[in-house]
Structure 1
Amino acid sequence: MARPFLKMNGLGNDFVVVETRSGPFAPTPADVRAIADRTSGVGCDQLIAIDKAEDADARVRFWNADGEEVGACGNGTRCVGWLLMQSSGKDEAVIETRAGRLIATRAGERLVSVDMGPPGLDWDQIPLAAEHDTRALDVALFDHPALSAAPGCVSMGNPHVVFFVDDVDATPIATIGSAVEVHPLFPEHVNVGFAQVLAPDRIRLRVWERGAGLTQACGTGACAALVAASRRDLVGRHAVMVLDGGELHIEWDDRGHVIMTGPAAVDFAGELP
């Protein structure tokens, strides 16, 4: 039976979103890869399923383009939050994920804020294979002149390592990102961010996403980069993150929660065979 889907994006980070509350949806890794394939499938960075939930508006599952199910996706959560609020007519949506409960709220016309909760900062929360200082790793992950500063590590429900560089656009992200993604220090592999601090409240960011490669935008990556930079006193507790697909506003608030605000867009509808 064909199953309807929506193609959505958050700053160009694109998703196939499937409504599954009417029946079970259990794609295999091969199914996910087929859907995500940009030549023979629909094409996306992540596949998202919206399931029924007992005490929330929905439970949401995420798969990367390589077929692996993952715990969190910031831009995807924002898109789902917008859909749920459009459906209910409310200004808030409660979303259960493998990484915990997230709250999405309206922030303007097609703008959504998501409370991503507190970041994980301990080495075993990332997780790392051994104990290290996550504020500034004392391990050389890749030998390249652009990586002169020690990276920081943050979990936003998924693992991130953030390198601070002088010029993001001159950094060979695919070469470094693909190698660091599978470094043995990260037993669950890792999302690799490259951040260039432009001002105390502005960061240029590109992210090599675990299982998806270089994307137009990464919501959890933007959250992780703000936290990593703030821990090093490179920026304050909030900043505009300048991604290839556009801008996100990230705040690490007084409660210790990370709030992500940005747009959500619907591209088209279709049916999966």
Structure 2
Amino acid sequence: MKLSFTKMQGCANDYLYLDCRTSGVPEKIVPLAQKLSARHFSVGADGIICICAPRTPGADGTMRIFNADGSEAQMCGNGIRCVAEWLHVHDPACAEKSVLKIDTQSGLKTLTRMGEELWQVEMGVYSAMAADLPAVNMGEGPLVRCPLEVDGKPWNVTCISVGNPHCVTLVDDVDSLKLEAIGPAFECHPNFPERINTEFVEVVDATHLKMRVWERGSGETWACGTGTCATVAALVEQGLCPVGEDVHVALRGGELTIRVLPGKQLLMTGAATTVYEGIAEV
């Protein structure tokens, strides 16, 4: 069987996008995501994102995300910008709009087109409470500057939910970290029963950060939109980044701009780029 897809990337966070608005999510999406995501052996990607019919009246579509290991994620900040760009290009009704609304597993998100292949996402409200992640054995929260032992080493972490769970920790030199050695132990730490995404952050100054991320289900990726939002939220909670100002976060795949608004609302701005259209034999 031949499967048509669009490969897109936001800050090098690359997924295969399937038009599922009429057909629905493929029945065997888990093995399909595992097979097609394998780098060097197949198309290669961080996973598959299915663009489905909207669930909410007035919405323009629904995003469902399947990681490279086949697990389903609630939200992907880089992915949702690419979904908006895909709809803008492929759906004539969406092409006429400057604002799109997209359903996700963590609620309805609003996106505004800021320029050519550039979108701003209203990411919603973040939380540092344990029940929202979820997290256990760490108190009720806010989980700010909490001690966490990982593989026998003490870390200081701040835990943030932005519709999916994140663990943020500060480091002196983010480029020198061997994430493949430490990331899995964070991801599968028993304090996080649904596993966790982990961000390792170097502070350049109050409005400029460097970050690397270990994503649950995907390993190290070159960018993570929700993780970038969680990072800035965590540093705002610690008094290291300002409220109401743009914070620029340098990732391996590019830069995202995050702003925390009063009331813990998050805005994310970044690019969404089409790499190519393809057909895979599955």
Residue pairs, 1:151-162, within 5 angstroms: 151-162=157-168
More strand by share: 2
Equivalence for 1:264: 272
Equivalence for 1:129: 136
Equivalence for 2:12: 12
- 1:68-111 deviation per Cα after TM superposition (whole angstroms, max 9, x unaligned): 01101110011111222333221111000111111111112211
- Letter matched to residue 275 of structure 2: D
| CA distance in structure 2 between the aligned counterparts of 1:175 and 1:53, rounded to whole angstroms | 40
Displacement of 1:142 in angstroms is: 4.2
| CA distance in structure 2 between the aligned counterparts of 1:59 and 1:28, rounded to whole angstroms | 16
- Retained in 2: the 8 A contact 1:9–1:79? yes
Total equivalences in the alignment: 270
**Which sections of structure 2, spanning at least 5 residues, go unmatched?**
none
Displacement of 1:29 in angstroms is: 2.1
Greater CA drift, 20-29 or 254-263: 20-29
| CA distance in structure 2 between the aligned counterparts of 1:143 and 1:263, rounded to whole angstroms | 39
Displacement of 1:143 in angstroms is: 4.0
- Retained in 2: the 8 A contact 1:124–1:131? no
| CA distance in structure 2 between the aligned counterparts of 1:24 and 1:76, rounded to whole angstroms | 18
| CA distance in structure 2 between the aligned counterparts of 1:234 and 1:198, rounded to whole angstroms | 11
Greater CA drift, 19-28 or 47-56: 19-28
Equivalence for 2:202: 196
Equivalence for 1:101: 108
Residue pairs, 1:1-273, within 5 angstroms: 1-26=1-26, 27-54=28-55, 55=57, 56-86=59-89, 87=91, 88-89=94-95, 90-132=97-139, 133=141, 134-144=143-153, 150-237=156-243, 238-272=246-280, 273=282
Greater CA drift, 21-30 or 260-269: 21-30
- Retained in 2: the 8 A contact 1:248–1:262? yes
- 1:129-162 deviation per Cα after TM superposition (whole angstroms, max 9, x unaligned): 2442311223323444xx65x1100111111101
- Letter matched to residue 109 of structure 2: L
**Which sections of structure 1, spanning at least 5 residues, go unmatched?**
none
- 1:181-234 deviation per Cα after TM superposition (whole angstroms, max 9, x unaligned): 001001110111000110010110000111111111111110000000110011
- 1:29-59 deviation per Cα after TM superposition (whole angstroms, max 9, x unaligned): 2221001111232111021001111421001
CA RMSD of aligned residues (A): 1.5
TM-score (norm 1): 0.94
Identity over the aligned pairs, expressed in percent?
35
| CA distance in structure 1 between the aligned counterparts of 2:116 and 2:221, rounded to whole angstroms | 24
- Retained in 1: the 8 A contact 2:166–2:196? yes
Displacement of 1:115 in angstroms is: 0.7
- Retained in 2: the 8 A contact 1:217–1:245? yes
| CA distance in structure 2 between the aligned counterparts of 1:48 and 1:99, rounded to whole angstroms | 15
| CA distance in structure 1 between the aligned counterparts of 2:120 and 2:17, rounded to whole angstroms | 19
Greater CA drift, 130-139 or 108-117: 130-139
